[in-house]
Structure 1
Amino acid sequence: MEELRVAIVGGGFSGTMVAVHLARAGGVRVVLAEKGDRLARGAAYGSRCERHLLNVPAGLMSALPDEPSHFLDWLRGRDPEAGAGTFAPRMTYGDYLAGLLGDAASTGRVDLIRDEVVDLEAGPRLVLRTSGGRAIEAERVVLALGNPPPGEPAGMAITPGLRGYVPNPWEPGALDGLAGDEPIGLIGTGLTAVDLVVEAMAKGHRGPIVAISRHGSLPQAHRPSAGPPRPHVLAAGRPATARALLRTVRAEADRCRSEGGDWRSVIDGIRPVAQDVWRSLEVPERDRFLRHLASRWDVHRHRIAPEVEEVLASATLAGRLRVVAGRVESIEPDGDSLAVRVRGRGRADSEVLAFGRLINCTGPSRDIRDRAPMLVRSLFGRGIARPGPLALGLDAGASGALLDRDGNPSDRVFAIGPLLKEGLWETTAVRELRVQARDLAEHLLGRRPAG
Structure 2
Amino acid sequence: MFHKVAIIGGGAAAATLVSELLERRTPRPLHLDWYCGAPGAGRGVAYGTPSERHLLNVRAASMGMFVSKPGGFLEYAQALDPTVKGSDFLPRRMYGDFLQSRVTQAVKNAPSLGHDVNVLPFPADSLVPSADGVTIGYGDETSQADAAVLAIGSLPPRPLPGVEDAAIASGRYVTDPWPFLASAEDDDRPLRVLVIGLGLTAVDVLLELSSRWPNAHFDALSRHGKLPEPHLSAASAPNDDGGELIESMRDDPNLRVWLRRLRDAAAQAEDWRTVVDGMRPHTQSLWRELPAKERARFLRHARWAWERARHRMPPQVAARVAALEAEGRLHRGRGRMRSVHLTPQGKLDVASAVPGGNETIAGYDIVIQTVGLNTDTQRTEHRLIRQLVLGGLVTPDPQGLGLAALPDGHLLDGAGKPRANLFAIGSLLRGALWESTAIPEIRKQAQGVANMLLAEKPERVAAR
Question: Deviations 1:363-415 (Å, cap 9, x if unpaired)?
Answer: 12352212241111211233221112323111112521111111221111111
SS at match of 1:393: coil
Partner of 1:330: 339
Distance 1:287 1:151, change over 3 A: farther
TM-score (normalizing by structure 1): 0.93
Partner of 1:446: 455
Q: Distance in 2 between matches of 1:429 and 1:194?
A: 18
Q: Distance in 1 between matches of 2:429 and 2:164?
A: 29
Partner of 2:378: 369
Deviation (angstroms), 1:179 = 3.9
Deviation (angstroms), 1:162 = 4.2
1:121 to 108, 122, 128: 128
1:291 to 293, 300, 310: 300
Task: Tell me if 1:156 matches 2:166.
Answer: no
TM-score (normalizing by structure 2): 0.91
Partner of 2:87: 85
Question: Deviations 1:136-194 (Å, cap 9, x if unpaired)?
Answer: 221110000101233433x5343242440011223354762574331111110001100
Partner of 2:209: 200
* Between 33-42 and 271-280, the greater mean CA deviation after superposition: 33-42
Alignment of 1:184-223 (within 5 A): 184-223=193-232
Partner of 2:351: 341
SS at match of 2:238: coil
Task: Tell me if 1:248 matches 2:256.
Answer: no
Q: Distance in 1 between matches of 2:425 and 2:307?
A: 21
Q: Distance in 2 between matches of 1:348 and 1:422?
A: 33
* Between 228-237 and 62-71, the greater mean CA deviation after superposition: 228-237
Gaps of 5+ in 1: none
Q: Distance in 2 between matches of 1:224 and 1:163?
A: 39
Alignment of 1:253-402 (within 5 A): 253-256=266-269, 261-334=270-343, 335-344=345-354, 346-402=355-411
Distance 1:417 1:3, change over 3 A: closer
Q: Distance in 1 between matches of 2:183 and 2:192?
A: 11
Deviation (angstroms), 1:64 = 1.1
Partner of 2:418: 409
Partner of 2:22: 23
Question: Deviations 1:251-279 (Å, cap 9, x if unpaired)?
Answer: 111111xxxx1100010011111111111
Number of residue pairs the alignment of both structures matches: 443
Distance 1:174 1:213, change over 3 A: farther
Task: Tell me if 1:167 matches 2:175.
Answer: yes
Gaps of 5+ in 2: none
User: Amino acid of the residue matched to residue 315 of structure 1?
Assistant: L
Please tell me whether the aligned partners of residues 151 and 364 of structure 1 are also in contact (alpha carbons under 8 angstroms). no
Q: Distance in 1 between matches of 2:40 and 2:173?
A: 24
User: Amino acid of the residue matched to residue 323 of structure 1?
Assistant: R
Q: Distance in 2 between matches of 1:366 and 1:67?
A: 29
* Between 244-253 and 199-208, the greater mean CA deviation after superposition: 199-208
Partner of 1:61: 63
Q: Distance in 1 between matches of 2:213 and 2:128?
A: 50
CA RMSD of aligned residues (A): 2.0
Please tell me whether the aligned partners of residues 283 and 389 of structure 1 are also in contact (alpha carbons under 8 angstroms). no
